[in-house]
Structures are given as structure tokens and as C-alpha cells.
């Protein structure tokens, strides 16, 4: 699902109808609303206000949730454990997302590279795979 403000009027009506019609979707609705709050916190134009919103979300998730929201409770425990790191984003304004993306690519390459015996070949393949050298080298 996406941000609520990206939904059309019709999509919003369908979503509201879903939430109102069936109690089986209460856990999904609560989770989606927390997701919307987190997006709002990260996207807030004032980082200090975003930090307050995120801190409020972390505290709310930590204090205990009704039965049926175990995954959301686990997220709350994880956010509570990592709250300093999560809230540091609002002070620094940087994320380690790009670094994690490159690490993911290298891990994928390592997983499919079983049998590389030549270190120079492996290093070159790593650079091609993660450093976007593919566009400059026609051999791949």
C-alpha cells in the first residue's frame, strides 16, 4: 500500500469501506495507520517535529498493543532497541540505505560467485556489479 494522499477518492472510499465492513482487517488497519504516521514523521518538513512524531510512535508501539498485533509489537520492540539510531536520522538527515544497497549487491554477487579462483577477477566483478561499471564495459 502507499501513502493515503496518493490514493484517489475512489481508492480512499474502498479502503474506508474495507475498514468499516470487516473486523478481520482491524490489525491491518492499525498497522497501516502506524505506517502512515511513520511516513509522515520521515517526510515532515521540520526535522525537529518529525523527530517528535517518530519518538511518539516508538513510545506508543512499545507500551503494548492489543492481541493480534504481534508483528507490530515486534516492530515496536525493535524500534525501541534501536531508537537512538532511528531518531539520529532526524538530527543528521542521512541514512545508511545506499550503503546497505551496495552491501546487498555484493552479498548477492558473493552468493552467485562460488568458484571464483582469481582474486583480481572477483574484485573486477564486484566493481562491475556494485559500482555501476556495467554501462562502461560492453563485455557484460
pTM, two decimal places: 0.64
What share of the chain has pLDDT > 90, as a percent? 24
pLDDT of residue 62: 87
pLDDT tens digit sequence for 49-73: 999 999 999 999 988 787 888 888 8
Q: How far apart are CA 96 and CA 20, in angstroms?
A: 39
Cα radius of gyration (the chain): 21
Give the pLDDT of residue 129. 67
Q: Which residues have CB under 8 Å from 8's CB, separation 6+?
A: none
CB 54 within 8 A of CB 46: no
Domain-wise residue ranges, the chain: 4-92, 97-130
Place of cell 490489525: 27
Amino acid at each position: 500500500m502507499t501513502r493515503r494522499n496518493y490514493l484517489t477518492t475512489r481508492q480512499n472510499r474502498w479502503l474506508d469501506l474495507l475498514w468499516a465492513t470487516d473486523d478481520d482487517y482491524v490489525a491491518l488497519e492499525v498497522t497501516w495507520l502506524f505506517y502512515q504516521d511513520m511516513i509522515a514523521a520521515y517526510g515532515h518538513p521540520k526535522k525537529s517535529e518529525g523527530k517528535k512524531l517518530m519518538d511518539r510512535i516508538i513510545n506508543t508501539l512499545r507500551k503494548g498493543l492489543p492481541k493480534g498485533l504481534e508483528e507490530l509489537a515486534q516492530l515496536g520492540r525493535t524500534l525501541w532497541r534501536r531508537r537512538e539510531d532511528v531518531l539520529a536520522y532526524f538530527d543528521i538527515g542521512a541514512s545508511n540505505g545506499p550503503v546497505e544497497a551496495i552491501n546487498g549487491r555484493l552479498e548477492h554477487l558473493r552468493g552467485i560467485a562460488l568458484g571464483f579462483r582469481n582474486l583480481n577477477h572477483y574484485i573486477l566483478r564486484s566493481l562491475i556489479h556494485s559500482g555501476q561499471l556495467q554501462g562502461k564495459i560492453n563485455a557484460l
